[in-house]
Chains A and B, each alone.
Chain A
């Protein structure tokens, strides 16, 4: 009885405030507030601070002052930055193409019926599950000029006579990190595309088979167009992640040799934290923004078109 009485009294006391929530505008605000606060605190505020930082001359231990676009002018003339831009596009472009092609191939294989299907599907995800830093260290060992298991194998097979310095040569280093990124990214593509494939009714394939479509035509006219919305979303996610990749390059090459493998994130880190030029590092990070923005907008528009057709 006491409890009932208390809660009744409480509800009476709260009712003016609660009544306010019956107005949809207040209710909407109340419901949105937690998300808005979190996003504001952890995304908008740092972003805003980053913009301010990039417009100042701040260094480690030196507050600095407002300098306008000076940092952006400076990185524009920086040849390492230009290499970085090219590297990032090359790295993202090549890996995405390979991840999509291999992932799709794997997804189609996994979509068949065979013994141990569930176990294989789970194993496929392993590269994706292992923390990137750990798996990258394993790869670093494999690409080590002295201890490389790859060199050893090639040597034993009689394919090479001298050691290949995988991470010491600029082109080979880039190729190496691209290979690792593909290895790590394929499972995500494969599993997501597999989920997409499973939404396509087998009856459609049967109908196409009776209609006279051979396997390749069935893929091209039925599977591919129906998988397109999923594919675009996966590619979008992958592009964003790859474009802003950090761990893999940082662990493997640190951006070397001779800055040949720097991406936006690693170069921004090296300049901002490594050499203490915080403002220039911020400028490089922000330079990623317009590129990513354009890529994302184009893809989102395309996804919308595909989904509404």
Chain B
């Protein structure tokens, strides 16, 4: 049972304000992922939870205890570092045992826990080796093992997969997910990789410039991004954006740009009507664009010239120009398209996003 709550959390280094008024409640057994570009304050937030960084103002609680002044060792947390931080002069077994020895555990108990963690992670045969005799993936497992043996209230992960090669990263991602299901320990995970965030997180915190942009379940962030930044950050390939003006056309609100006119459906139309005449950003994901058919309403169709065709096997990415806007569409792999083709495309009206041009907040 462990909840972590952050209340009006701030961090300043000299004059730079790196974490601004972060308010967050991480539930018991939840896997919470912090994601954002580098320098967004996610790692600093994690380090404040760990107690490695002093809090400028605000409050951190683990369960009901305020831990602002509690040293890291007394917070009952375990952390997995980006560079593993294994003690190079100790064997794997000693690395795993260190935290328990420091806490004066019985020898038999230490051994039991090491064996248990080693079998969970499949590193039984490596226990007598030194870290430098291990591969990157094996080191990562040992680093995880060092956290597991401690049986802490909270796991903290600081970009633990970023030093692994792409294939191993995917594999370890799955293992981390399984591990979390098995151990069910409250976890806070920092990454700059939105795929990791989407696949691992029960909930995801998107941060930018020290400010929380949105907190929500992965699909919530994907389907209803709170602002243009979240919309562009979550999802791959990234959402298309077009600078438009909101106008009335025959009594219906539409988004208009040079060479492009898209109708706005249902509720979006209602919300857009209040901003008629204003500039906005239209957003549509590549996977929500398809080749137009007779079934598509004309107000959701547009003409585009294909500039580049990217064959990915499972899909085709079309880099296109629609009026002044550059767009990417993800279409069926069976489609025969060539560069410089002119296509009529349609988009799913219910998947349209509008963002205020000034505040960048979703309309």
Contacts and interface: CB of A to CB of B under 8 A. Distances in A.
Given A203-B83, A217-B102, A209 B89 contact: no
A204 B85 contact: yes
A206 B89 CA distance: 16
A208 B72 CA distance: 10
A295 to B, nearest CB: 25
A221 B98 contact: yes
Nearest to A204: B85
A277 interface: no
B77 interface: yes
Contacts of A225: 89
Contacts of A214: 73
Contact of A213 (B73, B81, B82, B150): B73
B14 to A, nearest CB: 12
Most A C-beta atoms less than 10 A away, residue of B51, B52, B85, B146: B85
Interface in A167-207: 201, 203-204, 206-207
A207 B81 contact: yes
Contact of A209 (B71, B87, B103, B146): B71
A222 interface: yes
Nearest to B88: A226
A267 to B, nearest CB: 43
B246 interface: no
A307 to B, nearest CB: 11
Interface string A79-90: 000000000000
A24 interface: no
A212 interface: yes
B304 interface: no
A208 B89 contact: no
Given A217-B102, A226-B88, A207 B73 contact: no
Given A206-B52, A206-B81, A211 B102 contact: yes
A213 B85 CA distance: 15
Given A213-B102, A217-B102, A221-B98, A207 B85 contact: yes
Interface residues of A, dominant DSSP: helix
B23 to A, nearest CB: 25
Contacts of B146: 207, 211
A213 B72 CA distance: 10
A305 interface: no
A38 interface: no
A179 B103 CA distance: 42
B52 A212 contact: no
Contacts of B98: 208, 211, 213, 221
Interface residues of A, number: 18
A211 B83 contact: no
B73 A222 contact: no
Interface string A14-42: 00000000000000000000000000000
B323 interface: no
Most B C-beta atoms less than 10 A away, residue of A203, A213, A217: A203
A296 to B, nearest CB: 25
A102 B307 CA distance: 70
A230 to B, nearest CB: 13
B78 interface: yes
A217 B104 CA distance: 13
Interface string B72-110: 110001110111010111000000001100110000000
Contacts of B99: 210-212
B35 interface: no
B85 A203 contact: yes
A210 B155 CA distance: 11
B261 to A, nearest CB: 55
B185 interface: no
Interface string B42-81: 0000000011100000000000000000011100011101
Contact of B85 (A201, A212, A226): A201
A208 to B, nearest CB: 7
Nearest to B99: A211
Interface string B157-187: 0000000000000000000000000000000
A209 B72 contact: yes
Interface of B: 50-52, 71-73, 77-79, 81-83, 85, 87-89, 98-99, 102-103, 130, 146, 150
Interface of A: 201, 203-204, 206-214, 217, 221-222, 225-226, 309
Closest 5 pairs (CB-CB, A-B): A211-B99, A212-B102, A203-B85, A207-B85, A212-B73
27 contacts: A203-B81, A203-B85, A204-B85, A204-B87, A206-B72, A206-B81, A207-B79, A207-B81, A207-B87, A208-B102, A209-B51, A209-B73, A210-B50, A210-B72, A210-B79, A211-B73, A211-B98, A211-B99, A211-B150, A212-B99, A212-B102, A212-B103, A213-B102, A214-B73, A225-B89, A226-B89, A309-B89
Given A209-B73, A210-B79, A210-B99, 10 more contacts: A204-B87, A206-B52, A206-B85, A209-B52, A209-B71, A210-B77, A212-B103, A221-B87, A222-B87, A226-B89
